[in-house]
Amino acid sequence: MTITRRALLAAPAVLAMAPAAAQAGKITLVVPFPPGGSTDALARLLQSNLQTRLNRIVVVENKSGAAGALGAAQVAKSPPDGSSFLVTFDSHAVIPTILDKPPVNVERELMPVFLVGTAPYVIAANAGRPYQSFADVVAACKQTPGAVKYASVGIGTLGHLAMTVLGKKAGVEITHVPYRGGGPAMNDVLGGHVDLIAGSAALVAAQLGTNMLRPILQLGRERLPVLADTPTAIEAGFPDFETLAWWGIFAPAGTPADVTAGMAKSVKEILSEPSIATQLKETQMMTLLLEDANAFKPFFDRQVSYWGQVVRENNIRA
């Protein structure tokens, strides 16, 4: 938990997003993952700016565990008064199906507030491997089923699920090796212990200057400028297939509309500042969407439906 300012005074016009009972209190941004990841970085970026903008104490609390469900459950059980928000990642949509007994119903107990943006997942190979394209991976898998191994940042993450879908579409088996986070996964790919990694564009792009990693497929609809020579899955023969990392903010169900709208407005204004927008684009390869609940809810519902079906069809459990 980090507290960087203790001023509690606030002008009513600035604090219109919070009901009177909560105006004097702090705002907690719960991150359902350990410190150091992209979601944690986003939350801390928002923390400092919200604190200045709202003149209230804003803290970030990391509550990891159960594929992000523990942090989500904490927010769901918090008072719906604008004092607690969940800042989370794409794996949030898989909680209903990846866990046998989820501690939270993410569709009923939490409400979408703000969709920050998206970034494509990317498949990359250790540069010492012979794979120049995903077609080369498919050919190797057909020649020796199960011999090609790929790393992901965990069971049930979208990197894992995307590779599961691509393998089925191509009719091959690609062996999954899950890790606890992007750092350990990338280290083993660079070290040659596994052949491939399915990770976020930011995770892969950070290694582009090392000549140790070769991107072979990106899973957005359009090529990223930093990966201009890497085809999309659609271009590689997988029609209409995309896998996007996304970042979003949720509140406890029942939080008043004016409260969530106020938070969405503040976050949008912060992330629209050129220096901050550039930072997110460069560090996370993020396409900023900056959309409120009206657009976020149907987006989230589609994510829950699509990836939930993948989890069920392949009997994947965390």
pLDDT of 181 reads 82
Residues of the chain with pLDDT under 70: 1-24
Residue type, 219: L
**CA–CA separation, 196 vs 190, rounded Å?**
9
Residues 99 and 128 placed together within one structural domain of the fold: no
pLDDT of 75 reads 98
The torsion defined by the Cα of 147, 183, 179 and 104, in degrees rounded to 10, comes to: -140
In a domain, 270, yes or no: yes
Q: Domain boundary at 200, 227, 254, which?
A: 227
Which pTM does this prediction carry?
0.87
pLDDT of 272 reads 97
In a domain, 89, yes or no: yes
Check which CATH number belongs to the domain holding 38 and give it.
3.40.190.150
The torsion defined by the Cα of 101, 155, 38 and 269, in degrees rounded to 10, comes to: -50
In a domain, 46, yes or no: yes
Q: Domain boundary at 174, 201, 227, which?
A: 227
Q: Domain boundary at 227, 256, 285, which?
A: 227
**CA–CA separation, 182 vs 186, rounded Å?**
6
Residues 114 and 248 placed together within one structural domain of the fold: yes
pLDDT of 11 reads 35
Residues 202 and 272 placed together within one structural domain of the fold: no
Question: In sequence order, which ranges of the chain are alpha helices (DSSP H)?
Answer: 38-54, 69-76, 95-98, 134-143, 158-170, 182-190, 201-205, 257-271, 274-284, 293-313
Residues 32 and 113 placed together within one structural domain of the fold: yes
**DSSP-derived 3-state class of residue 67:** helix
Residues 69 and 145 placed together within one structural domain of the fold: no
Chain center to CA of 66? 15
DSSP per-residue codes, 190-229: HTTSSSEEEEEHHHHHTTGGGTSEEEEEE-SSS--GGGTT
**CA–CA separation, 153 vs 187, rounded Å?**
12
Residues 217 and 254 placed together within one structural domain of the fold: no
Residues 74 and 211 placed together within one structural domain of the fold: no
Residues 43 and 31 placed together within one structural domain of the fold: yes
In a domain, 232, yes or no: no
In a domain, 9, yes or no: no
pLDDT of 25 reads 84
Residues 159 and 258 placed together within one structural domain of the fold: no
C-alpha count within 13 angstroms, C-beta hemisphere, residue 79: 11
Residues 201 and 253 placed together within one structural domain of the fold: no
pLDDT tens readout for residues 236-245: 999 999 999 9
pLDDT of 1 reads 37
Asked if residues 117 and 290 have their Cβ atoms less than 8 Å apart, the reply is: yes
In 10 A of CB 128, how many CB atoms? 10
Residue type, 125: A
Q: Report the domain count for the chain.
A: 2
pLDDT of 16 reads 41
pLDDT of 196 reads 98
pLDDT of 36 reads 83
Residues 258 and 205 placed together within one structural domain of the fold: no
In a domain, 1, yes or no: no
Check which CATH number belongs to the domain holding 161 and give it.
3.40.190.10
Range of the domain at 206: 120-227
Residues 104 and 248 placed together within one structural domain of the fold: yes
In a domain, 13, yes or no: no
In a domain, 93, yes or no: yes
